[in-house]
């Protein structure tokens, strides 16, 4: 049996939002057992928004949460770091409606968590153990979740660009593997899309300091941190959205050209069907309980 964790001491960081360009100050604060990850808008009398899929507002180019009309945007990078590092309970205090983009990755948040340290709480950690597969598609985008004795992700992307193309990432995710293999991977954008995005009020804070920028032929601000940095960042986003389950997962997730919309739909559909999962405090799952897992999603999900 493992126990819930919070951070040992507060720590803070600030920067501008990718879409709003508004400066935001973030402070992580220890929280008691069974609190979960809770955002606090300190600019709005400490209004709290739980990091749970029931609070998802929209998923266009970022995952935004809303509760009682109070909005919170671009949560996925900090959630990916907290979730992968096993932080069950924490208050994320902020003074604006969008989390800072920082360098476009989760690496600064991993650094922040290294400063806070962790503290074990006297309450068992509760896992969501997936019992049966769930899979669905939207055109050529597909996603599925399958029984597994660990938390594992498989992410496939394919962009029609000479510097990207097909990329595939599969890994077991824990604090060490996430910090080393995924956290440094940055968000990215294509110059051809910028005019349309800005007309929609997006990427006002975007720059070559916080995103990989590509024109029609090249990467304009290389070098890359990984040869497959685009696929790794999509896996990072996937993990941040999966954190909205509210508990650590024992499952393997396969995402094929998926994005925030499919990620959050998966969480919603999973939690809505109690025949697909069970909640347990035991992490010593047995191989005899598992079913065969596909290498990738079938062309036509069942």
* Residue of 126, 151, 179, 142 whose CA lies nearest to 261: 142
Q: Answer yes or no: are the C-beta atoms of 32 and 44 closer than 8 Å.
A: no
Number of H helices and number of E strands within the chain?
A: 6, 19
Alpha helices in 227-301 (DSSP H): 229-242, 260-272
State how far the Cα of 258 lies from the Cα of 275, in Å rounded to an integer: 24
| 249-256/127-130 β-pairing | parallel
State how far the Cα of 117 lies from the Cα of 131, in Å rounded to an integer: 33
Give residue for tokens 């069974």.
34
State how far the Cα of 135 lies from the Cα of 137, in Å rounded to an integer: 7
* Residue of 24, 59, 22, 20 whose CA lies nearest to 204: 20
- Concerning whether 19 is annotated as a catalytic residue, the answer is no
- Residue of 52, 77, 233, 260 marked catalytic: 260
Alpha helices in 39-188 (DSSP H): 76-84, 107-116, 175-177
Residues identified as active-site: 260
């Amino acid at each position: 049996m493992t126990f819930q964790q919070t951070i040992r001491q507060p720590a803070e960081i600030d920067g501008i939002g990718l879409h709003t360009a508004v400066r935001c100050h973030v402070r992580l604060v220890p929280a008691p057992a069974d609190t979960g990850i809770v955002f606090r808008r300190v600019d709005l009398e400490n209004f709290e928004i739980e990091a749970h899929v029931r609070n998802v507002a929209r998923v266009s180019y970022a995952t935004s949460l809303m509760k009682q009309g109070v909005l919170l945007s671009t949560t996925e990078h900090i959630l990916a770091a907290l979730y992968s590092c096993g932080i069950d309970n924490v208050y994320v205090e902020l003074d604006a409606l969008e989390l800072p983009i920082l360098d476009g990755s989760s690496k600064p948040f991993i650094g922040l968590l290294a400063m806070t340290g962790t503290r074990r709480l006297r309450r068992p950690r509760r896992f969501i153990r997936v019992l049966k597969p769930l899979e669905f598609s939207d055109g050529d985008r597909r996603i599925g979740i399958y029984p597994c004795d660990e938390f594992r992700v498989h992410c496939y992307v394919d962009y029609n660009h000479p510097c990207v193309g097909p990329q595939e990432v599969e890994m077991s995710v824990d604090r060490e593997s996430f910090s080393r293999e995924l956290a440094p991977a940055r968000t990215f954008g294509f110059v051809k899309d910028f005019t349309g995005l800005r007309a929609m009020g997006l990427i006002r804070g975007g720059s070559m300091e916080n995103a990989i920028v590509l024109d029609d032929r090249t990467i304009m601000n290389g070098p890359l941190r990984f040869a497959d940095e685009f696929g790794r960042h999509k896996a990072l986003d996937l993990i941040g959205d999966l954190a909205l389950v509210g508990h650590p997962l024992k499952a393997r997730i396969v995402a094929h050209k998926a994005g925030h919309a499919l990620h959050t739909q998966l969480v919603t559909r999973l939690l809505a069907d109690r025949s697909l999962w069970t909640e347990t405090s035991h992490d010593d799952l047995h191989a005899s309980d598992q079913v065969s897992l596909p290498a990738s999603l079938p062309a036509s999900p069942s």
